[in-house]
A and B are shown apart, each in its own frame.
Chain A
Amino acid sequence: MSIITIERKVLQKNDEVARRNRALFFSHGTFAINLVSSPGSGKTSILERTLQQLKGELKVAVIEGDIQTDLDARRIASLGAPVVQIVTNGSCHLEAKLVEDALSNLDLAQVQLLIIENVGNLVCPANYDLGEAVKVVVASTTEGDDKPLKYPAMFRNATVLMINKIDLLPYVDCNLEQLRKNALSINPGLTIFETSCVTKEGLEGWCAWLRSKMIFVGRS
């Protein structure tokens, strides 16, 4: 028997493309966000509210990842933001190469903030670096307070947690403090926002955080 040493990450190829994407974002001063969550937690609604809130202030573009349909891209396009739809045709996550291909349809020189909405899935997207500056994970109150414990990889890799649908707290079995505690036990460094896309509560704090990142990109 002979041994061939490999010592190579399984996703090294993806990571190399992600590095290229990251370098491209950096050279254009684009702050890129990888927005992840389970299906139905409100990613697209958060996007819509964010675009409305930042309109005329920041140049925002969106990459929409979905398994099927361009319904989300149409929602975003109706708000006047540049949007590229990636249809994964069954694949449960976005990969760096899909994002790289999508970027050829965007003029990054005109984009300060790029939001990549991943496929709704709390498992698979955790493994795939897309070249983003930060992962933002959304957990809605209707999902209960134990999501961070059930899907630790996703919450560990995220920089920001958005607890969405807080307007529904009186009606659902979700302890907000417990949800925060669970998330911080997995990832003590998480920045947490509590939001509602219906009442718009908490969205200003989130947008202020985004603005602060623009300053960072501009200076770097």
Chain B
Amino acid sequence: MHELALAQNIVETIHRAVPPETRKNVRVVRLQVGAMAGVVPDSLEFSFNALVAKTPLSRVRMEIESIPFVVECEACGRISGNDVGISRCLECGSGKTRIRSGTELQVVNLELEDFQEEAV
């Protein structure tokens, strides 16, 4: 269960990108998580929500784009995906493959509600 540590990193990333006075306007944090990144999206979201509760980021919703695991065979050229993380080419059996996607774990962008002057 390292999702809490990962969520902490995501909170810090938002803090780096958004000055304190604007943080309450952040609505969405978008992530890409590879199918083989070793991360449970539900746990990550749960941890994030727990961390930001009662902070200026409490209204931030986490949106996770799941990236499929895809390998490219250097022997036969076949590009194939599987959801169990097998890197060997399922077509020709070659071990000379390159992972094209599925190990990502990154913050893509933030969505902010446009800043409005509050009536005093």
Q: Which residues of A from 113 to 130 have beta carbons under 8 Å from B?
A: 123-124, 126-128
Whether the pair A8, B36 counts as a contact (CB closer than 8 A) is: no
Whether the pair B6, A10 counts as a contact (CB closer than 8 A) is: yes
Whether the pair A7, B108 counts as a contact (CB closer than 8 A) is: yes
B residues less than 8 Å from A210 (CB atoms): none
Contact of A176 with B by CB under 8 A: no
Contact of A102 with B by CB under 8 A: no
Whether the pair A3, B109 counts as a contact (CB closer than 8 A) is: yes
Q: Which residues of A from 1 to 23 have beta carbons under 8 Å from B?
A: 1-14
Please indicate which of the listed interface residues A6, A8, A126, A127 has the most CB atoms of chain B within 10 Å of its own CB: A6
A4's nearest neighbour on chain B, judged by CB, is B110
Asked, given contacts A10-B9, A13-B9, whether A156 binds B106 with beta carbons under 8 Å apart, the answer is no
CA distance A91 to B113 in the complex (A): 36
Contact of A144 with B by CB under 8 A: no
A residues less than 8 Å from B105 (CB atoms): 9-11, 127
Among B38, B99, B109, which residue has its beta carbon within 8 angstroms of that of A123? B38
Q: Which residues of A from 135 to 156 have beta carbons under 8 Å from B?
A: 149, 152-154, 156
A residues less than 8 Å from B112 (CB atoms): 1-4
Q: Which residues of B from 7 to 48 have beta carbons under 8 Å from A?
A: 9-10, 12-13, 17-18, 27, 31, 36-39
CA distance A127 to B37 in the complex (A): 8
B residues less than 8 Å from A188 (CB atoms): 87-88, 94-97
CA distance A127 to B39 in the complex (A): 9
Q: How far, in Å, is A2 (CB) from chain B's closest CB?
A: 5
Q: How far, in Å, is B80 (CB) from chain A's closest CB?
A: 13
Closest 10 CB pairs of A and B: A188-B95, A152-B85, A124-B2, A153-B38, A4-B110, A6-B107, A9-B106, A10-B105, A185-B88, A185-B86
